Each structure stands twice: as structure tokens, then as C-alpha cells.
Structure 1
């Protein structure tokens, strides 16, 4: 008698425990992102916190620039136009959504860029560092309240983050990373610093050549289509000491001690006027030059590159240029949070202490503007305290960042 055995059925594939955990983390991250961004939108719609009208920047200033740019003219002679020519592309981009108002379209595109950064960070962490970087971005950005949705720094940061992640992939793509950094530099200059830590040799040559080509192509196109593309340089050169900068903090304390300093709205920001203010501005420029010199020295002395070196160097460089700047607006923290989040996508990073200090610095930035901005303008004890704490945290983060980068990469640290 022949026995017939039932055919064996192939079992359905099941998710491994690690895959299931990763999926759960990503869903949780997405839920938190959605809830926090809804809260930011509510604040933006109400826009009644503190002083200044955060959303006014979009529906008055940016919308006015859009009208000029749409006619093929850069804002010539406008003291508030202090941005490289590539910024025109960001200010014109809401025109891609004609069924929305300019304000609605701008905010929608800012949210889209924000989501793209969170998604890219979550995917980049992988099995190395998980979603630590994505969590820093997702939870850190709302500490700035609704400011990120009413400034174009999220879009700029997205270009820088994607450029760095292209350099940090298991199979790095320096050509893509360089092109994204070059485009970002035409929008707000600082994304070019993402290429500072590329490994010596062919990766550096490829990345910088690609950056130069991408930037040159965009600038050439803008120069052909618009007059006065470089007018922003004159407005930048005329800027003084903004009240939220490190130099401005020293002048606040001097004003609190009854020295003759006062605040005036100039070049789109509140700046100090009074004796020795030009000297403070020159000192800031000298410190920026010194920071650039230190970065060049680091680049020459560095002997050991790790997978984290490009993002570590980028955060270090932007921190140095931030703390030495004549202007430290709250939106600068968007850049720093984005770069810190990239650092946390790898366990090899040396920037974890600096990255964590940026979270309270972001919260204090929002406390200074818009919540206590009247106190900051008037140099009250409360306003001065907020600035001293915020800028003190940024200084500490810059110190820790430099120390970590130097020790991890120079020959002395590996002796």
C-alpha cells in the first residue's frame, strides 16, 4: 500500500525581533514628529507669544521678496536682503503650490523639508546608532517653538544634512555630497562647511569639485536671469553687533551697568550703538578669522579619519563660526541641531556632549525670542540672564566639540 504524504507548506516569512523593534521605533518616532509639528503649527497660527510676530517674516518680508523675484529682480538696495543668490530659489518655491497662499505654501514646504530630514536621519542610523539622530532632530526642533516654520533655515539645513549623509554612507558618495553642499552654499554659505572633514585625497577632490560645479551652475543661471545678484555682500558688510550675539551679550552687561549703549533696529535686526561697538564688531571678525585658522590647522594636523569625522568636523566648524558671529539669531540653532543629529547617527562620533548641550541652548533661544524679547531689547536682568546662559552653553559646546575632534584625529591623540 502506497502512503501519500501531504505536501509541506512553506512557512510565511516573519519579521525578526530586531526588525520588529526597528519598525516600532520608527512608528513611535513618526507619531512624535506629527504631534510636535501640530503643536508648532498651532503656535504659528496663533503667533501671540512674546514680541515680534514670528510669522510676519514670511507673509510680509518673504512674500514681498517673492513678488520682486517673480518679476526677475533681486531686492536691490534693500538693507534686509543679506542672503546669497541661491536663496531666491527658496523664496520662489511656494509658487509651486499655487492653490495655497504664499504663507501656507511656505510653511508646507518647510514641513516637507523637516520630514525629509527626520526620515533621512532615521534611515541613516541603522544598526549602528539606531534612531538617536532622528530623535534629537524630532524633539530638538520644537524647543525653538514655531520659529523653524517661519524661517528658511530648515530647507537650508536639509541640504546640509543630506550632503553629510551622502558622505557617511557605507559606500560614500562624495560627488552627490559635494553637489548638495555646493547648492546649500549658494543659499546660505555655511553648508559648504560640511565638506571640511572629507578624507584626504580623491574623496576631498571629488567633493569640492562637485560643490564648485553645482554652485557655479546655479549662480550662472541666476546671474543670467536676475540683475544685482551680489548686492547682498554690501548689506552683510554694513552689519553691526546684533543684540543676541556673544559681543552683544557683553554690551548688554555694560548697559546694565549704566554705560551709554542703546539698541536700534538696523539691517533687519536689533543692533547696539554706542562707544566701542565698532571695535566689538571688529573683534568678532578677528575671532571668526582665528576660528578659520584653527580649522585649517586641524585639517593639516589630522592623521586619522573615522566614519564620523566628516560630520564631527562640520558641527565643530559651524559651532565656531556661530559663537564668533556678530549675529546669533535663534534660527542658527536649527543648523546646529541638524548637524548634531547627523553626528548621532554613528557611534564613532566625538560630538555627543556638544550635541546634548544644544538642546537647552535651543530652549533658551526661544525664551529669549520671542518670549522675553522685550527684556532682551531693554537689557533687563532677565533678558541678560537668558543670553548669558544661552551663549555660555554655545561656548561650552564649541569647546567640547573642538576638543573631541582634535583628540580623535590628530597624531598626538594616537601616540
Structure 2
């Protein structure tokens, strides 16, 4: 079904078309620039770290195909890697196949969007890193660093590593891998950090939480406009900069809160309680760290809802991380996974089904967007609530 929709994208089978254009126009153009050893630094839509070049160049591994066909084939391969990893994790004693089930049934809720974005490949790296945390922390750190150099957020999979040696090992290898890959990027001609200029210039995308507020404000007299900027539809007008600033402050606030959760763990670990809690409750017989997985999902959820941009492909990340959580019977995030799946289905109503209404700011467009974002906010709040209760509950149960 996903492939059928992708191949008929230009006939607009479901509302707005042009979903596949991202690959055969934008990615293919960047591919030509990267192939000659540079970065498309002058393109305002180039807003990604230098590691994305490896993903965009990967269709060269399939000679004899068009760039579009090669990209889609490798996206399907990354999808298969995720499914195999989740299936293997779910077959271990005491584990669950629910993670593989969520990924299999959840991804098609986004229709053909996953096949025309490189987020499936990035999610594959993050999923493998998260599944490796229990027993292969060096591998997990290296994978997280590579993912961060592709799209930043995969570094968050390390946020919940157990206090002590596990954290030191994972983060040391992440730092070493990231430094080495970044140094390699600077050897290449061009400007590998040019994406920072484009990223800092971004405003408030209409699909973000702030965009929902501004969309409703248009119905009570606010005179802002929607314009195509930096590869997305963004709001311009009075107060938009303030909304963007609030988004950044909220992001800083939620990560401060997550840092406090980690500090509580480290403080308890100093007295031996938290270490005992981890050993007795976080890890199962296969070394699966349920706490670290739950915290990674919570961190990425909070990053998503406070972002100035909530594109539909962001749901790919959340589905992948939620699926990893569900491979453990000890996870606290089952109801969160349900909300994420519902948000994925609602995202396809926002784009592409009713995207014209969302751009025009009609009441229909505002309400469907508010519904999708409301589900994400509810998922983030519930995830953090259940996560904050973990250290105390697990320490008490150990006692």
C-alpha cells in the first residue's frame, strides 16, 4: 500500500501531492553536489549535520538504478533491519513481540511519507543503538554519535544509561566517534557546519505546537501570514519570534527536568540504592535496559513537542523508540505507545489529506492539527509522569 501510494504520488491520490518530490528533486540535487566532494551550503533547505551526506550518497551502492529507486530500496532495507532487530529482541526469554508489532502496523499509518524521507534510516541507527545499550555500550555509543551527525536527535538514546561505568563507556565512545567523524567532514571541501546558519534562521512551522497557537490566533484577529521558507510552510508576522523563543525555552526546560531525573539516580547510586534498583528491576536476563529505553523515548518526545518544527516524519522516530520500549515487559511506556500510534494516524490527516486546510488556516485545518499535537503533548506528559515515578518506585520495591 505504501509503495502503491508512492508510485502514484503525482496524481494526488490522497489530498496534497509532492510527497515523493523530496527524493527525486531535493535529495537528488544534493547527491550531485555531495558526489563532487562538497556540501550544498548555499541551499537554505540544507539544515542537517554533515553525516547526512553518507545517507544521501548511499543510493550509489546500487548501480544501474535511478536515484529515486535506489533511495526507496535502501529505505525498505532499513525498515527490514529495524523489524529484524525488534523481532530478535522480542523472541528472547521474558521479552515481548509487541515492539515488532507496533513497528509493522504503525509505520503504514504514515502512508507513503516514510519511503520518501531518510528518517527510517536514522531511526534504524537509533534503534540499534538503544538495543545495544544493555550489553554492547561501546557499539551503542558509536552508533548514537553517527546518528547525531546525521540528524542530531539519536544522541538522546544515551540519556538514560545507568549511572556509573555504563554511562562513562557509552558517552566516551560516542564522543570519540563523533569527534573522528566530524574531523573527517572538515577534511572534505565545503562548509560542513553551514547547516547551522540555515537552522538558526528557521521560524515557526505551521505544524508545530506554536503553529497551532498561531493558527487559532488568526481566527481572533492576528494578521500573520504563511510563507514557504527554508523548505517548509512557516508563519511570519508580529509575535512569531516570541513564539519561537518560547519553544526554545521549553526545550531547555524539559531537558533540565530530565537532567534532574538523572541526578536523582546518581544521588541514590552514591548510597547504593539506585544501583541495586537497576540491577534488580531495569535489566532482564538478556541485559535489556528498560529504564534507559523508556527515558530515551521520553526525551525524544519532549524534544519533538517543544520543537519549532513537527513534521510528519518525526513520528517515525517516535514509533521506532516506542517499539524498542515494548520489547520489554518491564516498560512503563505502553499507554504512551498507544498515543504515539494515534498521533501517527492523525498526522496523515494533517498531511497530506487536509494539508490545504492546514495551510489556509481554516477551522477544519486548525482542529485536526490541534488534535494531532494534543495527542503528542499528552504522550509526552504521560511519558514524563511515568518516568519520574520510576526511581522512587523501583528503589522502594527493592527494599
TM-score, normalised relative to structure 1: 0.88
Is the contact between residue 178 and residue 209 of structure 1 (CA under 8 Å) also seen in structure 2?
yes
Partner of 1:348: 330
Q: Out of 68-77 and 253-262, give the one that drifted further.
A: 253-262
Over the aligned positions, Cα root-mean-square deviation in angstroms equals 1.2
Identify if the C-alpha distance between structure 1 residues 210 and 348 changes in structure 2 by more than 3 Å, giving closer, same or farther.
same
Query: Cα distance, 1:414 vs. partner?
Result: 3.0
Residue in 2 that maps onto 1:94: 59
Distance of 1:52 and 1:188 partners within structure 2: 25
- Asked whether the 8 Å contact 1:128–1:345 carries over to 2, the reply is no
1:175 partnered with 2:138? yes
Output the CA distance in 2 between the equivalents of 1:192 and 1:350: 22
Q: Which residue of 1 aligns with 2:313?
A: 331
Q: Aligned-pair distance for 1:99? A: 1.1
TM-score normalised by L of structure 2: 0.92
* C-alpha contact 2:96 2:329 (8 A) present in aligned 1: no
Q: What are the Cα deviations for residues 231-267 of structure 1, in whole angstroms up to 9, with x where unaligned?
A: 0001110000000000000000011223211100000
TM-aligned CA distance change 1:186 to 1:410, over 3 Å: farther
For residue 121 of structure 2, the aligned residue among 151, 155, 160 is 155
| Residue 136 of structure 1: aligned partner | 102
Selected match of 1:216 from 171, 179, 185:
179
- CA drift of 1:411 comes to 6.9
Q: Distance in 1 between matches of 2:348 and 2:389?
A: 33
Where does structure 1 lack aligned partners over 5 or more consecutive residues? 1-38
Query: Can you list the C-alpha shifts for 1:262-316, whole angstroms capped at 9, x where unaligned?
Result: 1000001000011111000000000001011001001101234313011101000
2:380 is the alignment partner of 1:398: yes
Matched with 1:264 is 227
Q: Does the Cα contact within 8 Å between 1:375 and 1:382 map onto a contact in 2?
A: yes
- Secondary structure (helix, strand or coil) at the match of 1:263 reads strand
> Quick check: 1:301–1:410 contact (8 Å CA) kept in 2?
no
Cα distance in 1, alignment partners of residues 16 and 29 from structure 2: 22
**What's the offset of the Cα at 1:413?**
7.3
Contiguous gaps of at least 5 residues in structure 2: 266-273, 283-288
Among candidates 17, 20, 24, match of residue 59 of structure 1: 24
Matching residue of 2:356: 374
| 1:277 aligned partner | 240
Distance (Å, rounded) in 1 between the aligned partners of 2:259 and 2:97: 32
- Following superposition, the deviation at residue 125 of structure 1 comes to 1.1
Residue range with higher mean Cα deviation, 218-227 or 60-69: 218-227
State which of 75, 78, 85 in structure 2 corresponds to 1:110: 75
Contact 1:141 / 1:334 at 8 angstroms: preserved in 2? yes
**Post-superposition offset of 1:225:** 1.8
Match of 1:195 among 131, 144, 158: 158
Instruction: Pick the structure with greater CA Rg.
Output: 1
